């Protein structure tokens, strides 16, 4: 069976393990610096497997040796946002954590594909690629799946239509400048622009951009974890099963959408090699302008990173 290691066994990491265990597609390792915590969560989850009838090995550890031979390494470790914090406020703290997680994981799994969740997302994906000296196709930022799912959920709430009939595409950086594509997003093939009044659609777009912050404000002591973890599971399954699934995710731009040397949300094809293709949509002038604005915000974050870390 394949092997997936999740670095950071907090709410997002352990919930991702839960979603993945149910899929029975990989043995799992939870790694965390807190002694006993990943071991306890792994044991609890392992004891649930007989109930749901799944044969998956789940291990908890405080060191990286247990991750040896991983096909995929998921990095969720880092400080979560608190009310009033932006994703960028986390930059200096989380850069150290992600650098260490990348370096240590690669010692034991030199061929692993990395899925990054730690915020600021696009910048941490860039850091992982540079610190690990990894080819671009082996580093994927989990953002677009989550942002698009939030938008789909909000459209379903507004219209009463099944989420299965709703397709939404959110591009750009994982922040307040993300770009929900209302022209490409649709309900059973009907563009959202034609299905919903302009004011209702604008409200959904704004709520999508602030989706993570809305949950942080409600929880007061943490950030979202169910939906981010479900998004991890979808991405991991697509890679391990070589599904060629096209989803929005943060990928390294090498000229696509006119962008270079940043990680940025775009539709990507996920397969056994990681990112196998970046899909380029035809964008109108307004969409291009919004994407460029988002790219500026990501570029500024990466420049701030370069002042903290030698890459």
Q: Tell me which residues are annotated as active site.
A: 174
8 A C-beta contact, residue 259 and residue 295: yes
Question: Exposed, middle or buried, 107 (CB in 10 Å: 0-12/13-18/19+)?
Answer: exposed
Q: 85: which DSSP letter?
A: -
Residue 144 is inside which H or E element, if any?
helix 144-159
What is the Cα–Cα distance from 3 to 250, expressed in whole angstroms? Answer: 23
According to DSSP, the β-strands at 26-31 and 58-61 are: parallel
Number of neighbouring beta carbons within 10 Å of residue 164? 9
Is the torsion defined by CA of 125, 127, 129, 132 positive or negative?
negative
Question: Exposed, middle or buried, 111 (CB in 10 Å: 0-12/13-18/19+)?
Answer: exposed
Which residues have CB under 8 Å from 131's CB, separation 6+?
98, 99, 102, 103, 309, 311
E-strand ranges in 8-145 read: 26-31, 58-61, 72-75, 113-116, 139-141
Q: How far is CA 74 from the centre of its chain?
A: 9
Q: 185: which DSSP letter?
A: -
Number of neighbouring beta carbons within 10 Å of residue 291? 25
Cα-based distances in Å from 291 to 163, 196, 257, 311: 26, 23, 9, 26
């Amino acid at each position: 069976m394949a092997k997936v290691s999740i670095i950071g066994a907090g709410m997002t990491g352990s919930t991702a393990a839960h979603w993945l265990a149910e899929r029975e597609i990989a043995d799992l390792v939870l790694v965390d610096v807190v002694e006993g915590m990943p071991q306890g969560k792994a044991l609890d989850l392992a004891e649930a497997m007989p109930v749901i009838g799944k044969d998956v090995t789940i291990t908890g550890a405080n060191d990286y040796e247990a991750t040896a031979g991983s096909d995929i390494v998921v990095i969720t470790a880092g400080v979560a946002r608190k009310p009033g914090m932006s994703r960028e406020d986390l930059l200096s703290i989380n850069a150290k954590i992600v650098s260490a997680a990348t370096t240590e994981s690669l010692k034991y799994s030199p061929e692993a594909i990395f899925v990054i969740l730690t915020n600021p997302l696009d910048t941490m994906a860039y850091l992982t690629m540079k610190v690990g000296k990894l080819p671009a196709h082996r580093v994927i930022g989990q953002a677009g799946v989550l942002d698009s799912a939030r938008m789909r959920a909000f459209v379903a709430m507004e219209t009463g239509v099944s989420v299965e009939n709703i397709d939404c595409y959110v591009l750009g950086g994982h922040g307040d400048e993300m770009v929900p594509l209302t022209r490409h997003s649709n309900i059973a093939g009907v563009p959202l622009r034609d299905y919903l009044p302009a004011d209702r659609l604008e409200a959904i777009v704004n709520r999508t951009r602030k989706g993570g912050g809305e949950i942080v404000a409600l929880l007061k002591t943490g950030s979202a974890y169910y939906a981010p973890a479900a998004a991890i599971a979808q991405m991991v399954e697509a890679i391990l099963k070589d599904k060629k699934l096209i989803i929005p995710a943060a990928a390294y731009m090498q000229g696509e959408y006119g962008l270079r040397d940043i990680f940025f949300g775009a539709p990507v094809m996920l397969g056994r090699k990681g990112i196998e293709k970046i899909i380029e949509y035809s964008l109108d002038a307004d969409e291009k302008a919004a994407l460029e604005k988002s790219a500026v915000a990501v570029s500024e974050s990466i420049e701030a990173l370069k002042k903290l870390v030698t890459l």
